[in-house]
């Protein structure tokens, strides 16, 4: 709820990311099934279904698809901190060009550190003040809230219920 997926989506869809080709986005979830994830990545890159049943041929095709290319891959909502599974999954991507990027979103810092010990960015909760500013912008649009002092109790309730989470807001 702090905006990990939203931030990754902004990066993925940003004009600067157009310099990456191919680009792929895969939702991983709790089940870190390397075959399923690899097939999803391949399907995202090739825009066609993959009916292969074994990991090795899928990874060979993935390697061919990214070889020498500057790719961008987003693995969204990763839960597994199993280093050997991560090493197996990323093996085909070592063939990519310098400057290729893999972005991982996760709720768990241990997962982020397993996947990239040098590049972990933790998103913080919004301050009470920022929660209120965003709420006012969307709820009241052009209304001058300063002329409505009775909104203080609403402000306190909104801020308390959101707990700093943009998704809750």
List the domain boundaries for the chain: 4-115, 128-168
Round to whole Å and give the CA distance between 52 and 31: 19
The answer to whether residues 61 and 95 touch, using CB atoms and an 8 Å cutoff, is: no
pLDDT at 169 over 70: no
**pLDDT category of residue 142 using cuts at 50, 70 and 90:** low
Q: Full-prediction pTM beyond 0.75?
A: no
d(CA 140, CA 156): 16
Q: Which residues contact 67 (CB under 8 A, 6 or more apart)?
A: 95, 96
- Over the stretch 32-66, which tens digit does the pLDDT of each residue have? 899 999 999 999 999 999 999 999 999 999 999 99
Phi, psi of 61 (to 5 degrees): -65, -40
17 C-beta neighbours (distance < 10 Å), count: 16
């Amino acid at each position: 709820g702090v905006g990990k997926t939203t931030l990754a989506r902004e990066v993925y869809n940003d004009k600067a990311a157009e310099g990456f080709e191919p680009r792929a986005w895969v939702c991983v979830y709790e089940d870190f099934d390397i075959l399923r994830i690899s097939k999803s990545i391949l399907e995202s890159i090739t825009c066609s279904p993959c009916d292969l049943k074994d990991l090795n041929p899928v990874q060979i095709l993935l390697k061919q698809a990214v070889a020498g290319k500057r790719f961008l891959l987003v693995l969204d909502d990763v839960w597994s901190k199993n280093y050997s599974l991560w090493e197996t999954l990323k093996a085909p991507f070592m063939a990519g060009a310098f400057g290729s990027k893999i972005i991982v979103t996760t709720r768990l810092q241990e997962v982020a550190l397993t996947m990239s010990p040098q590049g972990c960015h933790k998103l913080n909760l919004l301050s009470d003040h920022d929660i209120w500013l965003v709420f006012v912008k969307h709820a009241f649009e052009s209304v001058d809230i300063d002329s409505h002092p009775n909104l203080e109790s609403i402000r306190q309730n909104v801020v308390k219920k959101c707990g700093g989470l943009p998704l809750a807001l």
